[in-house]
Amino acid sequence: MIGEASFFGLYLPWVMVLCACALPATWAVRRLMAAAGCYRWVWHPALFDMALYLLVLYALSRATFFLK
């Protein structure tokens, strides 16, 4: 998705806005998974968290693409 968003006169790339939105969503999913005990089956938690962040970012980018 190519574009930019104006934030108080500062133009930001749309991907940067999506990255900022994906971070709290990923934190929420991580807390839910930790509370459910899903991290017992994860071999490398940091690698898993990075992959989870990328999946949430991809989902947000696809969702905003279809809203357009």
pLDDT at residue 2, rounded to an integer? 64
What's the mean pLDDT when you consider all of the chain?
91
Q: What is the pLDDT at residue 4?
A: 84
Residue-wise pLDDT for 5-27, tens only, equals: 888 989 989 899 999 999 999 99
Residue pLDDT, tens place only, 40-67: 999 999 999 999 999 999 999 999 877 7
CB 15 within 8 A of CB 1: yes
What is the value of pTM for the model shown? 0.85
